[in-house]
Homo-oligomer: A and B are copies of this chain.
Amino acid sequence: MVSITDIREQTVSIASPMRNAVIDFSKMTISAVVVETDLTRDGKAIKGYGFTSNGRYGQSGILRERMIPRLLGARDVASEDGCNLDPFKCWQAMMANEKPGGHGERSVAVGAIDMALWDLVAKIDEKPLYQVLAERYSQGRSNPFVKVYAAGGYYYPDSAHHLLETEMRAYLDMGFREVKMKIGGASLDEDRVRIERVLNVVGDGNRLAVDANARFDVHTAVAYAEAIAEYDLRWYEEPVGVLDFEALKEVRLASRTPIATGENLFSCEDSLNLVRYGGLDASVDYLQMDPALSYGLVEYLRILQMLGTNGWAAGRCVPHGGHQFGLHLAAGLGLFGNEAYPGVFEPFGRFASEMRLEDGLVKLADAPGIGYEAVPEIYAVLTGV
């Protein structure tokens, strides 16, 4: 029966010079996690790798004091046939003696270990993770070509809009077809200028999404909704406070642009409240919960099931985070696509260079697991944990 023999974690800087409408990322960290079992391949322990996405900092304390000792102390974490790990049993072990509610931070710590566990599960199965997921949860249907968009468009000093254009042109040159930019860090008038500059580069409204990072009050959010309606943008992201569903409902009513939100909700319970109260439209809006920040894929599967019973298809989901783990979920579970952060959150925002980006699609590789071994800059950090 497979057992877990070691779990290590290390806090790693992903400091980035940009800032969005709310925070700067100059001190941003993640926790990188390595999980080992008693299984070997070619004489070496098979290792699973995970990390805490981005934006919510490393979680050394919760990992060291609660999640790692509980998982190492669990009696049975094996699949029914004993030949692989069962991430659901691992999840139960990690969450033992945790009170309900308060979904944040803890969800990030669990998510990092969960990512490493699924990496292991797929490696033990000798398949890429997306294929494992498709077989288990999508009747075998998978699509290794994942739609990605480039999240960037931060503010430049002195309103240097030509730098914003240069940034967006660079994304198109890389093979992206869709991009996202920040709004709300300047006046509405200046943001309109910025949006129009970017539209000149990308050519079409549905190739551009805008992101307010939950900064606006209802009044401002509605004013922006009205102002951007003419551009026919892909989506209008996080217009208002992430838990203020009444405000979201008001903005939704006023917005001709699809709404996207959810990256700062970290549980199935919080996601349910979003779809219950937020007034969103399951035929046009997007949900962006990040599995790595939200108790991992085990909880994300619960979220997808909950969404299904509330009329939301997996195809409306575009996870936050820009990690290769998200690509596998998109490919194996039929999600709309995945975020990408070219050049920021280095190196953890990178995808493997063998996974070519063409016409806005990334093709997943066939290596077993998630494939961080094929991203030298990430693998160098992970092997040091």
Contacts and interface: CB of A to CB of B under 8 A. Distances in A.
B23 A65 contact: no
Interface of A: 11, 22-25, 27, 29, 55-66, 96-107, 213-214, 241-246, 264-267, 269-270, 272-273, 276-277, 293
A101 B214 contact: yes
Nearest to A293: B102
A188 to B, nearest CB: 21
Contacts of A214: 100-101
B264 A245 contact: no
Nearest to A96: B23
Contact of A102 (B11, B27, B266): B266
Contact of A273 (B55, B102, B243): B243
A242 B100 contact: yes
A99 B56 contact: yes
Contact of A103 (B11, B59, B102): B102
Given A273-B273, A277-B277, A99 B61 contact: no
Contacts of A244: 269, 272
Given A27-B97, A102-B103, 7 more contacts: A11-B65, A24-B97, A56-B102, A59-B61, A61-B64, A101-B270, A102-B107
A103 B243 CA distance: 10
A102 B105 contact: yes
Given A104-B105, A104-B106, A277-B277, A23 B61 contact: no
12 contacts: A22-B100, A25-B97, A61-B65, A99-B264, A100-B243, A100-B264, A101-B104, A101-B270, A103-B243, A243-B267, A243-B273, A273-B273
A241 B269 contact: yes
Contacts of A24: 97
B246 A269 contact: no
Nearest to A266: B102
Contacts of A265: 101
Contact of A105 (B27, B62, B273): B62
A243 B264 contact: no
| Top 7 A-B residue pairs of the complex, sorted by shortest distance between their CB atoms | A61-B61, A102-B104, A101-B264, A105-B105, A101-B242, A243-B269, A60-B61
A55 B99 CA distance: 7
Given A100-B241, A104-B106, A245-B273, A62 B65 contact: no
